[in-house]
Structure 1
Amino acid sequence: MKILQLNKYFYQKGGAETVFFNTISTLENRGHQVIPFALKNKKNKFSEYASYFVDYPELSESNIWTKITNIPAFIYNRQAAKQLERLILDKKPDIAHIHLLFNSLSVSILPVLQKYRIPTVMTVHDYRLICPAYTLTNGKGKICELCKDRHFIHCTLNRCSNGNLTNSMLLSLENSFRSCFYEPLNYIDKFIFVSKFAQKKHIEFNPGYAPKAVQLYNFTPDIPTRINKKINHRYLLYFGRLSNEKGINSLLEAIRDIPEIDLKIIGRGPLSKEIGNNYPKNVSFLGFKEGQELKEYVKNALFTIVPSEWYENNPLSIIESLSLGTPVIGSNIGGIPELIQDEKTGFTFTMGSPADLTKTIRKAIAIPEEKLYEMSIACNKFAQQHFSADKHFNYLISIYQSILKASK
């Protein structure tokens, strides 16, 4: 099968790119031809298809004039449509799989895929289809579902894009334009939701998703087949983006009351400087880590902690932790609870409550070593059952085949 994989970034930027590149390698390793389509960027990985990629600046790193002149492409990128058409005519893909699309490649590519009768699926990595600000939170970082009425001006009125009025206006405009003229439901055959929660939430906002929705968890390509966890290290671990919605401040507040256990924090983000200058004595801020070095920290942790305070979708940090046999303490919000079997593969606590997190951590670190070993085995077994590359590939191919069959 010749599969077109579309994503705004062709370098490792975040969790969506991890899934994007893992999907490409998994498909290629099983004999399929993958054709990527993305934005041009000096950080990009090598691709023989790079000449088809789209010129578009990294707006977060651009000056105000560049941002202003690229507003039309932010909403509807004509060059992306032109380049995609050239790619389709030259390479003739059988199917298209979209990942991150909006505010870069834009909805301009959807009519092109439809014009050439390319069956299309989209993995829904965030809430951008129903929320201009991606996260279903407002400018104060609180859960917000006002746009359920499809009046996306709420994003502007509440400055939902990190409190920034200009960005919020642009996002409101893009969502309104898309909803009026290029509604993805009219172009995409299947939407792959990476959590049951996200699937339910999208259908809540728009019942039109129901007949086109399938649910498939993210995956990790290298789950160990055996776990031999040694409880030699007595520390908890947070790894991921350092930002307000991730619940970092609640975690730091909770850990102050448990001086007998160490917390290691790995990651980077808007709160890096604040955390680096202000944390309890039992907290170590280690900065950004990746690859095998990160895996060692995860594998050796007593528990990892995911204290998110937004509708977290399907966190790769949980998937990676469970696969390495490390149980998880996670907040009871979004797609997190469906990944944690309470007292078997971890614990959940009340979102946004440092007191309940403190109580849960105390409960977790009091568990006998024998029980911790049992939990470690259960974590790895759960990961093999739900997040393996083979399981993901088999279901993904069945989705591809179903829409290919329906298109004939």
Structure 2
Amino acid sequence: MRVLMVHNFYQIRAGEDSVVREELACLKQNGVDVELFSATNDDIVPVARKISTALGVVYNPHSRRALSRKLAEFSPDVVHIHNFFPLLSPSILDACREAGVPSVMTLHNFRILCPSALLYPDERLRERSLRHACWWTVPKKVYRNSLAGTLALAAMVEFHKRAGTWSRKVDRFIALTDWARRKLVEGGLPAERIVVKPNAVARPPIFGDLRRNGGLFVGRLDEHHKGVATLLEAWKEIDYPLRIIGDGPLAPLVEQSAGERVEYLGRQSRETVLKEMQAAAFLLFPSKGYELFPMTVIEAFASRLPVICSELPWIKGVVEPDVTGLVVPVGNAGALADQVRWALSNRSALEEVAGRAYAAYQEQYTPEANFNRLMAIYEPLVRRPMRAFAAVS
């Protein structure tokens, strides 16, 4: 089988970028002929380039032609798209249909339905774009606090929603959890074309017999989604080491909080992150917003690192409360502090949680499990006669 993977890489390495690299390696190791067609946001530097990128968010004919050439050259059996924003655009789907190649799209976020990829932080408005037009997000500047950027994204969402792009041009969507699938269906995507397949991570290297000590936070330092301020507030009550890895708007706050108990390590390599996971006693994941699949949690599972996380609807697709992780109410610093103190006083119970989390990793999130799931998605599309849907110009 030949697979062409398509991805627009971010300037700052994101979880999606890691997933693409993991799946490329997984397919190659299992004898699949796979290549990557990609763009990178590092190219968006000059002002003129930024303007042309904004104009091409809705539909980029240059990307369509470039992918058409790659399809003719490589002749894949299936195209697997991870991210097309902002440089590639949904125009690449027309290249796939012209070539008669089935397309699979992993939905790592809600960007095809809302300019705010993880939906709006305010709970009263959070899911509004799933049921209504998303123009309301423009004055709120939900994309990087940019009016122009949000407008370009809103135009992309509304144009393709009305053009029927997602219902007519994508052969199969991959949702990362059952919860994500339900939300995507609420947003208008065809339920019969959405399958659930979680992400996976390679088994981490063993860094030696490291002593398990201290709490660990890994992630973007922002309050809307990651709950960093809640974590720092909780730690005022805890006399125990905490190491924080990451970067973002709240980095100055974290630096100010660093001291005898809190150590700020900044942005680190994946190798360093994995080593810290094997040295920590537990991972803190006090998220406040929506995420479709937290790779940090799965990396913790693979490292036998127990997780203390927020009790959110989407997290239950990954963490089973009191079985593979410990949960606390969202945004409640006092409850988080109480759970940490309980964990420190019940080390044997914490070790049992870690063991069950590792067992869940072995069963569901290894490269082997991921390969089998990918083949189960690809093979029916490759075997069936093309085109099941009306041709779209």
Q: Same fold per TM (> 0.5)?
A: yes
- Which structure 2 residue ranges, 5 or more long, are not aligned? 387-393
Give 1:294's match in structure 2, choosing from 261, 273, 276: 273
Amino acid at match of 1:357: L
- C-alpha separation between the residues in 2 aligned to 1:290 and 1:270? 19
**Identity of paired residues, percent?**
25
- C-alpha separation between the residues in 1 aligned to 2:77 and 2:12? 26
2:382 is the alignment partner of 1:404? yes
2:15 is the alignment partner of 1:15? yes
Q: Are the equivalent residues in 2 in contact too, given 1:219–1:389 (CA < 8 A)?
A: yes
Output the aligned Cα RMSD: 2.4
Residue of structure 2 in register with 1:151 after alignment: 133
1:233-253 Cα offsets, whole Å, 9 max, x none, are 431000122222211111111
Residue of structure 1 in register with 2:287 after alignment: 308
- C-alpha separation between the residues in 2 aligned to 1:347 and 1:97? 35
2:240 is the alignment partner of 1:261? yes
- C-alpha separation between the residues in 1 aligned to 2:242 and 2:174? 35
Residue of structure 1 in register with 2:303 after alignment: 324
1:128-148 Cα offsets, whole Å, 9 max, x none, are 12211111115x697611112
In structure 2, relative to structure 1, the CA distance for the partners of 1:142 and 1:29 (3 Å cut) is: farther
- C-alpha separation between the residues in 1 aligned to 2:379 and 2:99? 18
- C-alpha separation between the residues in 2 aligned to 1:87 and 1:182? 25
SS state at 2:35 partner: strand
Residue of structure 2 in register with 1:218 after alignment: 199
- C-alpha separation between the residues in 2 aligned to 1:157 and 1:131? 14
SS state at 1:335 partner: helix
Superposition pairs of residues 9-408 of structure 1, within 5 angstroms: 9=9, 13-39=13-39, 57-58=43-44, 61-63=45-47, 65-138=48-121, 144-181=126-163, 183-206=165-188, 208-222=189-203, 232-244=211-223, 245-258=225-238, 260-279=239-258, 281-368=260-347, 370-408=348-386
1:66 positional shift: 3.5
Q: Relative CO higher for 1 or 2, CA cutoff 8 Å, sep ≥ 6? A: 2
In structure 2, relative to structure 1, the CA distance for the partners of 1:358 and 1:274 (3 Å cut) is: same
Total equivalences in the alignment: 385
In structure 2, relative to structure 1, the CA distance for the partners of 1:127 and 1:10 (3 Å cut) is: closer
Which stretch has the larger CA shift, 153-162 or 167-176?
153-162
Residue of structure 1 in register with 2:391 after alignment: none
- C-alpha separation between the residues in 2 aligned to 1:331 and 1:6? 33
Q: Are the equivalent residues in 2 in contact too, given 1:330–1:349 (CA < 8 A)?
A: yes
Which stretch has the larger CA shift, 272-281 or 323-332?
272-281
Amino acid at match of 1:406: R
Which stretch has the larger CA shift, 239-248 or 324-333?
239-248
1:353 positional shift: 1.6
1:229 positional shift: 7.6
Amino acid at match of 1:99: H
- C-alpha separation between the residues in 2 aligned to 1:322 and 1:184? 34
Which stretch has the larger CA shift, 398-407 or 307-316?
398-407
Amino acid at match of 2:86: N
1:311-356 Cα offsets, whole Å, 9 max, x none, are 1211010000011101101111243223223333220111122122
1:281-332 Cα offsets, whole Å, 9 max, x none, are 4211011222332212101211101111111211010000011101101111
1:101 positional shift: 1.1
Amino acid at match of 1:21: R
- Which structure 1 residue ranges, 5 or more long, are not aligned? 43-56
Amino acid at match of 1:276: E
In structure 2, relative to structure 1, the CA distance for the partners of 1:89 and 1:228 (3 Å cut) is: closer
Residue of structure 2 in register with 1:48 after alignment: none
Query: Which stretches of structure 1, 4 residues or more, deviate above 4 A after TM superposition?
Result: 140-143, 226-230
Amino acid at match of 2:61: R
- C-alpha separation between the residues in 2 aligned to 1:269 and 1:22? 25
- C-alpha separation between the residues in 1 aligned to 2:10 and 2:255? 30
1:182 positional shift: 5.5
- C-alpha separation between the residues in 2 aligned to 1:337 and 1:62? 43
1:120-178 Cα offsets, whole Å, 9 max, x none, are 1111101112211111115x697611112331111113332244323222221121122
Q: Are the equivalent residues in 2 in contact too, given 1:250–1:353 (CA < 8 A)?
A: yes
Which stretch has the larger CA shift, 126-135 or 272-281?
272-281
In structure 2, relative to structure 1, the CA distance for the partners of 1:162 and 1:40 (3 Å cut) is: closer
Amino acid at match of 1:160: V
Q: Are the equivalent residues in 2 in contact too, given 1:332–1:349 (CA < 8 A)?
A: yes
Q: Are the equivalent residues in 1 in contact too, given 2:234–2:336 (CA < 8 A)?
A: yes
- C-alpha separation between the residues in 1 aligned to 2:304 and 2:125? 32
Which stretch has the larger CA shift, 376-385 or 19-28?
376-385
1:222 positional shift: 1.5
In structure 2, relative to structure 1, the CA distance for the partners of 1:334 and 1:165 (3 Å cut) is: farther
1:381 positional shift: 1.0
